[in-house]
Structure 1
Amino acid sequence: MNARFGREGTMTYAELHAHTNFSLLDGSSSPEAMVEEASRLGLRALAITDHDTLSGIVRFGAAAETAGLQAITGIELTIGNGPYSPTQPGQGVGAISATEWRRSTAPVGDTDQGTSHLTLLAETLTGYRNLCTLLTEAYQCGGRDTPWVPFETLARHATGLIALSGCPQGELGQTLARHGPEAGMMVAARYREAFGKENYFIELHRHGLPGDGARNAGLREVATRLGLGCVATQNAHYHDASRAQLHHVVTCIRHGTTLADAGAHLRANDEYRLKSGAEMARLFRDECTRAGSDPRRDPVRTTLAIAERCTFTLHDLVYEFPKPRLPNGESALSFLTRLVEAGKTVFYPDATAEVDARLRHELEIADQLGLSGYLLVFKEIVDWSQSQGILVSMRGSAPASAMLYCMGLCPIDPLEHNLLFERFCSPERREYPDIDLDFPHERREEVIQHIYTKYGRDYAAMVCEVNTYRARSAVRDVAKVLGLSATRAQRLADALDRHDDDPLGRLAREDVHGRLAEILVDLSRQLVDSPRHHSIHVGGMVISAEPLAMVTPIVPARMTGRTVLPWDKDDLTILAEVFDVHLIKMDLLSLGMLSAIGRCFDHVASLTGERLELHGFRYDPRVYDQLCEADTVGLFQVESRAQQSFLPRWRPRNLADVAISVGAIRPGPGAARAGEHIVRRRWGREPVTYPARELIPALRETYGVLLWQEQCIQVAVIAAGYTPGEADQLRRAMSHKRSTEQMEAVCEEMVTRMIDRGYDNETAESIQAMVVGFAGYGFPRAHAYPFAHLALISATLRLRYPEAYYAALLNCQPMGFYAPHTLLWDAHRHGVRVLPVHVNHSAWPSTLEPILPEPVANGEPVGAMHHIAIRLGLQEVHGLGPAAREAFEEARATGPFTSIADLVARTRFDRERLECLAEVGALIGLPTGDTTTGSSTDRRATAWLTGELAGFGQGHLPGLADQLVTRPALAPMTDWEEVQAEYRTLGYAPGRHAIAYLRPSLVAQRAFTADSLGKQRHGRLVRAGGLVICRQRPETAGGVLFLTVEDETGLFNAIVQPPVYERLRRVLRGEGLLVLEGPLQLNDGTVHIMVRKAWPLRPETPTGTTRSHTGELVGVRSHDFR
């Protein structure tokens, strides 16, 4: 067959210059769409050459592998141009100065003078590594937002690369346009010298534009005179013409303009798409004819020759995890064994044969898979962290390892809790096992920087997160491009309900009308899921034995001291599964509860001298009663509405029970109602059944219901004779998306193996169906136990040291389900006294403060200074911000503030900050600083005074306040106005609840309080109202909305079914204060209102004021979850 033609006689072609939507806000098609279209067109190969990034090449490579298309890795690199001094006579460019040269080579419309584009393709592994090095250098040179490399750097790293002269923004194209062929000759000669004649090609485009012919003629002249080949490319920015309009949109977003005003920013037509070989042959018919039998002069056939040379694939990548430092004479295995044996004497002092066998088995697997050094690296990280007083916990499957337990990496004994090692690691898995470490959020950065220091910045980087457009962001940006105001665009975006199956469809039906709606919805749909920007993964970090630039570029992150890879965790999974390249991602995660526990430990140590630890922590048995009563606000993993519904019915009495609660309230198990079946079976409301007697040991803990992934493995081992490692691979195969044929083959094999072991066909198929149905949602037992451990630690701390615990929670916000106002009101219900913010008593964070106890009947205090309260910190005041901290702490360091005027002079706070402090009462009792009045007692007058004093500037003398300020007569703030001010400025009112002031209105509407609902009869029609603190509409709940509402007596939950939600959608989503009506549902201690009606809580005259009130509490918003 003629190499020039495909099987059907059509001209073959390889596209060597194409962009995906990873050319952020430039390309408008995904890598997968580009591959699909290239395959449909019959292209021989496709090169993705995104702007200054390799972000999309993994997905591109995987899609091409599936389609059987040759994938060529490339980039369009930004070059920083400068004056060039010719080394050979006759190659000068006349009297062009350096300044003129930079100006002449600036891209059209580009504000960065002296940059141009160059298309680079990786011919070999060496070339690919040079691409990575060039990109790393580009980001170091130009920064994250404007990467570029000087020509000299490019020339040093040209080996293994094929260079195309680029689009009209290339240096050659710009120079020809401005200075003609002689200057263009000089530019091309420089690139020919850098890359070699056989590796530098002149790029030709034809997009139906008026200047195409003249530009290509000039390029062809340069190629002929220098003996260079020409190559035809499309500079494709989308896969077909249907995405051209979206390309206009993203171009406008990039330039911050509208379609109406975009002008020359937009491409003139829809020709920047992929084209078939036949189309390219027609476009370049004259060039092909002129070439005759010389393939090097045929720009279409040249693409095939270049593609044939580009042999690099992602399969060629080589990565090695770094080796640990070892004591002299030790191997990694011997050192690991010694550490495990030493730990065994501590954690298993009376080790049984079972313990010895388990540790021996794990060490043998570690040796077989070469994991000893890998585990020792994690050991070093944990040891260093603990040496710095940083708490460390572990999640995922790693707590199933007895080796890690003996080395002190996890506080959970895997043998005691039947955690299966093969869920963590087995010979059948062709990858390193995951080890996920948790650190306090405020100290995790110390660990990350330690790793950078230890391994070197060229050898470590964070994994990226690809942030994509969602419906709201797409609508907001597209609407502005279409000419809507920013306010209107934001309002449209805010109207979308992310819980809707088709929020954009609702937008078309309800919020916009006519042709504009169709265009907005269509373009927004196209934009959804497109990359918007890159950020840092929550904790994924890669370290390497060789410089990472041998595998991937390293990009500076926006966060100081961080670098990031251009690939996310999904890319790393694809690299492993498709290309057998295993970049090891260490997950160094931030856990807010660890921060709170650590701070609480510090408080306890200060108060009692006792230093608590995660390892060996003893739970208070009384906490189980609190869990059974759903008294869980502020507790780790058990504070959600779903947990508060589950716990009273489950009635946990030990760590294993709490772990089941943690595992059952998850999207997967919840969708399968696993938790509901377990509860009913536990208390005899549903028969406990097992598919076969042999499976009772595996399923006894959960009453015959599959909950844990480990149970899936055990069932496959017992029933089908798989090894534990094979069974884990079976579980993984069933939990991933597979074709129908693949799933049928997996299931058929399992059934066959069970029948071979004596099961009848019906039993075998029922077990197989149970495992298949379970595999997609099962939760790892090894993950649940460490979380249950932290849940019980948090519950014990709250019970024994409530002031210390709530203070720690406040200082770790935001975290968890509840806002500070709910946590503080819960603290109040638990007997904790909370003192208000005050400039002379508060630190920046909330602190513990000794107080006199409440007086007894005769008025005498008992046990003076033996009681503790929480003193709210200034960080709680909205409007101060972190920038005010340094000024406040520096001013307070010299002593208390003697007056308001003194505060103004020493902190130099502006009017807004001072008025915030006055509104929340933080200046109460502080002298005004003049000679006519005493201490400040009224907040409104104080707020006015501070604002006036701030207006006098830095030269004002405190003692002259009475001479400079003429005060009007202002009515004092009412109690209700003070509560409103505190909610607006603090988010809550210490010691007072807003709903208490609105109770008369609720009483008039015959509404119950939260604490009285449980005393009513099941099914009774009730009303209750309060502050909405949480909305949740899980995907697995079939459109049901769950509300948590707070009043002055506690919390209550409400359930809104989909038809009711559709009818009441606007009030349920838009109002913060609600009255709800519906039948009461009581079930084993849980209370819900099944909502039928809802309306805003809008009293006219709340208690304590005669002024009208709209019912809004500014500064209070619910936490909305999916």
Structure 2
Amino acid sequence: MPCPSNETTGKPQVVTAEQEIPNSILHVRAMGIRVAARGSGAGSMVNHSLFVATANPLEHRLLFERFLSERRTSLPDIDVDVESARRLEVYDRIFERFGKERVAVTGMPETYRARHALRDAGLALGIAPQTVDMIAKSFPHIRACDIRSALAELPELKQLAGRAEEYGPLFELAEGLDALVRGYAMHPCGVILSNATLLDRLPVQPTPGGDYPMVQADKEDVEDLGLLKLDVLGVRMQSAMAHAVNEIRRTTGKQLDLDNPDHVDLADEATFEMIRRSDTLGCFQIESLGQMDLVGRLQPRHMQDVIADISLFRPGPVKGGMPARFIAARHGAKPHYPHPDLVPILDDTKGVVIWHEQIIAILARMTGCDRAASDVARRALADPERLPSVETWFKAAATERGYAEHVVDEVWDTVKEFGAYGFCRAHAVAFAVPAVQSAWLKAHHPAALYAGLLEHDPGMWPMRVIVADARRHHVPVLPVDVSRSHPEHRVEATGNGSWGVRLALSTVKGMSEAEAARIAAHQPYTGPQDFWQRARPSRPIAERLIQIGALDAVKGPLTRRDLLLQATELHRHARNRTTADGQLALGDTLVSPEPSGLREMSSRERVSAELDVLSIDVSQHLMEHHHRLLRELGATDAAHLQRLHPGQRVLVAGVRASTQTPPIPSGKRVIFVTLEDGSGLVDLAFFDDSHEQCAHTIFHSGLLLVRGTVEARGPRRTVVGEMVWDLEAVAAARRDHGPQAALDLLGHNTTAPTPAGPGAPKPRVLEDGTAGATLSAWADLQPAGTRSADLRRLGHRSPGSAG
């Protein structure tokens, strides 16, 4: 791209990437794409003035030095969030603006970990793909070199370990692949900008798809080379909110701007009341199990509380006990300040250190250095080799300025514990804005937000959990209908003055974009034959649509089994009798309007078909089939669990929505499970003394029945699990041998919750480790939804199912 000339000297003028980044942001907004700054760049008043960052740094006490200073040797890291669905459009615009000779994407080497190593080694050994898949999914997300150790130590892998000889050298070979590069992919966000052609500086290759030039270096190497990296992150929640806004405009005509304070009040009381109830499923950054627990105890009242909440959910503050101290002070405990000089720095967090910016300000205040130098010291806190010298400097400088020894020691202990794991306040501010925006949408336009969540799947929770949450908020989830569903999830009036969400055609397993568009283009349909002739679905798609009831509105007296029977005949005729343009010849009626006598699918078969085709139980909640059994057993549902007292023993049941083994302060392995039972979510914790009996059932069953003890976590209740059963096995015993057989399987005859009292079991109390500090050898750091139940393995199959 030619450089513009300098009008004064006539010499070529180099336009740097730093100068052009604000223009790039404006270009993105002009494309109608949501964009928001994140990271330390949100603390720059320059970025705010140029509309790169929306939050005013002065209102949130953000420091420019956290982003850029004369003493900083590394280049500024400028991060922006855009809609994930349109991220590549932003890339295209950046390449168009700067030219392909000046821009490239960052590469990312992908190395083998346990699951990929097992898959590739298993297929190389000729093991059946379904067996390889079963083996790989049994393992947590760990390094490949730990495969055999996990096989020997983890209770949930005992059955697999007992059959290890069947798989020959699989586990040994998979371990040998540890950390080897298995591919070179395009980095999910890194874009390199240069003021001269990149081809003169480093090797570039096409991306795997061939769309963009990609540097042959990872992001660390790029930074070492002194190149400016712009992180353009595709955030699915931004896409979900954009979809919600579009649906509000389509259905009501209201033009909503989430970033306009006149449209969206970020201090809205209804929104914060919902957050205080921990009703945050589907809300950005505050929907995880730990965050639901934390917001329930914190009880946020305004934006600053949400900023603090997001920041406290980090290892550094947790290790220093900051969440408990902040929550106590937030609810009336007297704040503690080591010295009056620190009050202006810590008064808005009640004396608790939460952010990098506070560390920078403390170091500057107590040592007398400038904030640029204190940021250099803050960065050194993460380096064990440099930490002693920083301690020596801090204590000497602070003592010289007259601070008492006990004050210096107390402050240093806090700074040392926090420094390596802290959080940037500017980053928290950037996250808190979309967090509250998404909560505002849930409070005021729930149907639109649920449509966005289902369309773009932010990934924290399985789609069926989102659907169940919509039902609890009185938002009907309408089934797939060939005459009313579109390729995307849409808001639809339900006829009683409320709004529901119509499931998309794209939800159907195997549905291509072209086929969904063709079905939508010819709506509505008058009957099954009309649908076949004009939509021309493939046979597998037609059968799946029939199974889930997508043709129920036009099938007349026919049953779904009748249509499945006739689908084969229709497609046989379609192959043999087509016109020159490929259309099915009209004339003969190929679909008989008379029922064949085949019975209709039962409710259980319908739900099974929905789980197989959509992975969502639409017509009724999966747990409804077990309500009678659970009443007989005396189980408590999520809605009533909140009324129980700590120490009570209880039975709970539900669909496994998530399973996590995050780091906790003790360093031990705790399995956290969330069940979803239709009335809400049940949080469970299984400590290591229960793993021998429980772990295999937890990880290998989709429906769980759990006995445990109630524990209070703020307004929420957690159950500390003692024993777990596969609910399907208990239901089978009840069906085959009667109610007493189910009770006998559980090993007791009475199951009513045990009242809390002097004789009640002492509750097992979780350590206050919201985000954890110590990593167990088998901790699994994947997001919550990655280990939800595979409900297609429940054992039911509807007649005619492709599975």
Regarding TM over 0.5, the answer is yes
For structure 1, which runs of at least 5 residues remain unmatched after alignment?
1-321, 336-369, 576-580, 854-865, 928-934, 1112-1116
5 Å matches for 1:561-640? 561-573=211-223, 575=224, 581-606=225-250, 607-616=252-261, 617-619=264-266, 620-640=268-288
Alpha-carbon distance change, 962 to 437 in structure 1, aligned in 2, over 3 angstroms? closer
Larger relative CO (CA 8 A, sep 6+): 1 or 2?
Answer: 2
The partner residue of 1:831 within 451, 464, 474 is 474
With over 3 angstroms needed to count, the CA separation of the structure-2 counterparts of 1:592 and 1:532, relative to structure 1, is: same
**Would you say 1:781 and 2:425 are equivalent positions?**
yes
Matches for 1:450-849 after TM superposition, within 5 Å: 450-481=93-124, 486=129, 488-498=131-141, 502-508=146-152, 510=158, 511=161, 523-573=173-223, 575=224, 581-606=225-250, 607-616=252-261, 617-619=264-266, 620-684=268-332, 688-735=335-382, 737-739=383-385, 742-813=386-457, 815-849=458-492
User: Is 1:888 aligned to residue 519 of structure 2?
Assistant: yes
1:1003 is paired with a residue whose SS is helix
Structure 2 CA distance for aligned equivalents of residues 766 and 672 of structure 1: 12
Q: Is the 1:982–1:989 contact (alpha carbons within 8 Å) kept by the matching residues of 2?
A: yes
Q: Partner residue of 2:566?
A: 945
Q: Which amino acid aligns with 2:327?
A: V
Please give the secondary structure, in 2, of the residue aligned with 1:622: helix
| CA distance, structure 2, for counterparts of residue 1101 and residue 970 of structure 1 | 28
SS in structure 1 opposite 2:786?
strand
CA distance in 1, matches of 2:405, 2:622: 64
Q: Tell me whether 1:391 sits opposite 2:12 in the alignment.
A: no
Task: For 1:214-613, list aligned pairs within 5 A.
Answer: 373-481=16-124, 486=129, 488-498=131-141, 502-508=146-152, 510=158, 511=161, 523-573=173-223, 575=224, 581-606=225-250, 607-613=252-258
Distance 2:342 2:18 in 1: 33
Deviation at 1:719, TM superposition (A): 1.2
Q: Distance in 2 between matches of 1:638 and 1:473?
A: 31
Cα shift readout 1:218-263 (whole Å, capped 9, x = no counterpart)? xxxxxxxxxxxxxxxxxxxxxxxxxxxxxxxxxxxxxxxxxxxxxx
Q: Matched residues in 2 for 1:432 and 1:535: separation?
A: 24
TM-score, normalized by length of structure 2? 0.84
Give the C-alpha shift of residue 872 in structure 1: 1.8
Partners of 2:30 and 2:627 in 1: how far apart?
A: 53
Match of 2:673 in 1: 1043
Matched, 1:1081 2:711: yes
* Contact residue 529 and residue 591 of structure 2 kept, 8 A: no
**1:924-964 deviation digits (Å, cap 9, x = unpaired):** 1314xxxxxxx155222223322332233242556534589
Q: What is the DSSP-based 3-state SS (H/G/I as helix, E as strand, rest coil) of the residue aligned with 1:588?
A: strand
1:120-157, CA deviations, whole angstroms, 9 ceiling, x for partnerless residues? xxxxxxxxxxxxxxxxxxxxxxxxxxxxxxxxxxxxxx
Instruction: Say if 1:483 and 1:796 are closer, same or farther in 2 by CA, change over 3 A.
Output: closer
8 Å contact 2:686–2:720 — kept in the other structure?
A: yes
Q: Give the match's secondary structure for 1:1044.
A: strand
Aligned length: 721
> Hey, what's the Cα distance between the residues in 1 that align with 2:85 and 2:348?
38
Query: Conserved in 1, the CA contact under 8 Å of 2:559 and 2:598?
Result: no
Q: 1:494 to 1:1100 in 2, by over 3 A?
A: closer
Q: Distance in 2 between matches of 1:957 and 1:386?
A: 49
Q: Is the 8 A contact 1:925 1:936 kept in 2?
A: no
Q: Matched residues in 2 for 1:875 and 1:905: separation?
A: 21
Deviation, structure 1 residue 1118 = 7.8
2:607–2:619 Cα contact (<8 Å) kept: no
2:723 matched to which residue of 1? 1093
Q: Does 1:1120 align with 2:754?
A: no
Are the aligned partners of 1:948 and 1:965 in contact in 2 as well (CA < 8 Å)? no
Q: 1:489 Cα shift?
A: 4.3
Answer whether contact 2:671 2:687 (CA < 8 A) is retained: yes
1:969-997 residue CA offsets vs partner (Å, 9 max, x unmatched): 32211122212222222222335211122
Output the amino acid matched with 2:324: E
* 1:1029 equivalent in structure 2: 657
Asked whether the 8 Å contact 1:902–1:958 carries over to 2, the reply is no
Q: Secondary structure of 2:33's match?
A: coil
- Partner of 2:423, secondary structure, is coil
Deviation of the 1:502 alpha carbon: 4.3
1:960 equivalenced with 2:581 (yes/no)? no
In the alignment, the residues of structure 1 paired with residue 61 and residue 2 of structure 2 have an alpha-carbon distance, to the nearest angstrom, of 32
Q: Which amino acid aligns with 1:417?
A: H
**Local SS of the residue matching 1:845:** coil
Kept in 2, the 8 Å contact 1:411–1:615? The answer is no
Q: What percent of counterpart residues are identical? A: 27
Say which SS state the counterpart of residue 335 (structure 2) adopts.
Answer: coil
Structure 2 CA distance for aligned equivalents of residues 838 and 485 of structure 1? 37
Question: Could you tell me which amino acid in structure 2 is paired with residue 698 of structure 1?
Answer: I
How far apart, CA to CA, are the structure 1 residues paired with 2:596 and 2:619? Answer: 31
Task: Describe the shift of the 1:384–1:480 C-alpha distance in structure 2 as closer, same or farther (beyond 3 A).
Answer: closer
Cross-structure match for 1:974: 602
- Residue type at the aligned position of 1:951: R
1:1055 aligns with 2:721: no
Q: Distance in 2 between matches of 1:979 and 1:1008?
A: 23
Contact 1:949 1:961 in 2 (8 A): no
Question: How many angstroms does 1:522 deviate by?
Answer: 5.2
Conserved? CA contact 1:505–1:521, under 8 Å: no
Contact 1:1101-1:1107 at 8 Å conserved across structures: no
Distance in 2 (CA, whole Å) between partners of 1:486 and 1:631 is 41
For residue 1092 of structure 1, give the secondary structure of its aligned residue in structure 2.
Answer: strand
Question: Which amino acid is the alignment partner of residue 904 of structure 1?
Answer: W
Cα shift at 1:1020: 0.3
SS in 1 for 2:378: helix
Kept in 2, the 8 Å contact 1:324–1:377? The answer is no
Per the alignment, do residues 644 and 419 of structure 1 end up closer, same or farther by CA in structure 2, a change over 3 Å counting? same
Q: Deviations over 1:338-378 (max 9, x none)?
A: xxxxxxxxxxxxxxxxxxxxxxxxxxxxxxxx9x9544311
Q: Say if 1:614 and 1:533 are closer, same or farther in 2 by CA, change over 3 A.
A: same
In 1, are the aligned partners of 2:487 and 2:517 still within 8 Å (CA)?
no
AA of the residue aligned to 2:344: P
Q: Secondary structure at the match of 1:1043?
A: strand
1:910 to 499, 517, 538: 538
Distance 2:152 2:132 in 1: 14
Tell me which structure has the larger Cα radius of gyration. Answer: 1
3-state SS of 1:677 partner: helix
Is residue 1010 of structure 1 aligned with residue 638 of structure 2? yes
SS at match of 1:848: strand
Matched-pair contact (CA < 8 Å) for 1:425–1:433: yes
SS in 2 for 1:960: coil
The offset of 1:615, in angstroms, is 4.3
Against the structure 1 CA distance between its residues 652 and 870, is the aligned structure 2 distance closer, same or farther, given a 3 Å change threshold? same
Structure 1: which amino acid aligns with 2:59? Answer: E
Separation in structure 1 between the aligned mates of residue 152 and residue 189 of structure 2, nearest angstrom: 39
Query: 2:570·2:590 contact (CA, 8 Å) conserved in 1?
Result: no
Q: Distance in 1 between matches of 2:591 and 2:165?
A: 66
CA distance in 1, matches of 2:319, 2:682: 23
Q: CA RMSD in A?
A: 3.2
In structure 2, list runs of 5 or more residues that go unmatched: 578-583, 743-782, 789-803
